[in-house]
Amino acid sequence: MPGPFEHSGIATFDEQGRQSLGGGMGKENEWDTGITNHVDVDPVEDTPMKLVDLGGKVVLTKTEVGKFGYLAVCLDAEGNRFGLWESRNYPPKR
């Protein structure tokens, strides 16, 4: 069985037992104080610019997450936090 996902200190797997980032946990920081819903986008860098134009804010710019993909975290115009996720072809896109 694959080893733990190195960036969070926990192991995450999909239904077939393959190493995956279907969910995860990380250390708390100043902007992350609860559950964050994530939306799959492609590519991550296009969405934050649109969000800022609509009054939102980027709190974590595009960040590489190992071999899995890229993450960004934003606040909408009302201060609601959400994440953006771009897979690095894992699982392979159909």
| pLDDT tops 70 at residue 41 | yes
The 10 Å Cβ neighbour count of residue 12 is: 16
- Give residue-wise pLDDT tens across range 75-85: 999 999 998 98
* Amino acid identity, position 61: T
Helices (H), the chain: 46-53
- Going by C-beta distance under 8 Å and a sequence separation of 6 or more, which residues neighbour residue 89? none
Cβ count within 10 A of residue 72: 22
Q: Above 70 in pLDDT, residue 92? A: no
Span 51-60, mean pLDDT?
Answer: 91
> Domains in the chain and their CATH numbers?
38-87 (3.10.180.10)
pLDDT of residue 11 exceeding 60: no
| Cα–Cα distance list, 2 to 11, 18, 39, 78 (Å) | 8, 7, 26, 40
